[in-house]
Amino acid sequence: MRRIATTLAGLVCAAAFAAPAAAYEVDPMTGQPFNYYYGQYYRPQASAMPRSVVPFSGRFGPGMIVISTTERRLYYTLGNGQAIQYAVGVGRPGFEWAGTKTITMKREWPDWRPPAQMLRRRPDLPRYMSGGMANPLGARAMYLGGSLYRIHGSNEPETIGQAVSSGCIRMANEDVIDLYSRTRVGTRVVVMR
């Protein structure tokens, strides 16, 4: 009986660690599973609202990003009256903004250098942080030209759906990876309040 119990315990333990890499969705940019970084698997972030294709009407053509800060939603327009909807975190009171920008740069696992304005408010912040799991910019960043703002991932997934940032648009890492793969430099971004 003891031998059977030991064998079963070993099988259960082996099964827990034997998940094949094919069980993970693969990042088309890197060929790595989305939840694989620095040689380790990490737990995917749970989105405040799973991304989904929704009806979307308006004057926006396909391939644009439209952000509603009041809804705390980002829409990637597909055309034909549809868009992919993502939950986002937005600027806290005093850091809200609206306008039209263009993605001028894209980075995977970006480094972070807090802007001077942020360092004046928070002198405790590091002056530089290399890209990685602990980095506030998360897995991807899309830089909005002519501003200090970005659409980026997050190391604080619990803030998605809230107004807590210094004006940047935060997304769950899995969502920002998906959006990043759909956009290009030059993509128009419309932020509405």
Task: Catalytic residue, from 139, 142, 144, 168: name it.
Answer: 168
Give the whole-angstrom CA distance, residue 9 versus residue 190.
Answer: 55
Residue type, 155: N
Give the whole-angstrom CA distance, residue 123 versus residue 115.
Answer: 11
Task: Catalytic residue, from 101, 150, 152, 170: name it.
Answer: 152
Give the whole-angstrom CA distance, residue 111 versus residue 138.
Answer: 9
| Cβ–Cβ < 8 Å for 173, 153 | yes
| Cβ–Cβ < 8 Å for 187, 64 | yes
What does the CA dihedral 136, 143, 185, 39 come to, rounded to 10 degrees? Answer: -20
Give the whole-angstrom CA distance, residue 29 versus residue 127.
Answer: 29
Question: Catalytic residue at 80?
Answer: no
Q: Which two three-digit tokens encode residue 132? A: 């990685």
Residue with tokens 């990490």: 42
Question: Catalytic residue at 13?
Answer: no
Query: Residues with catalytic annotation?
Result: 152, 168
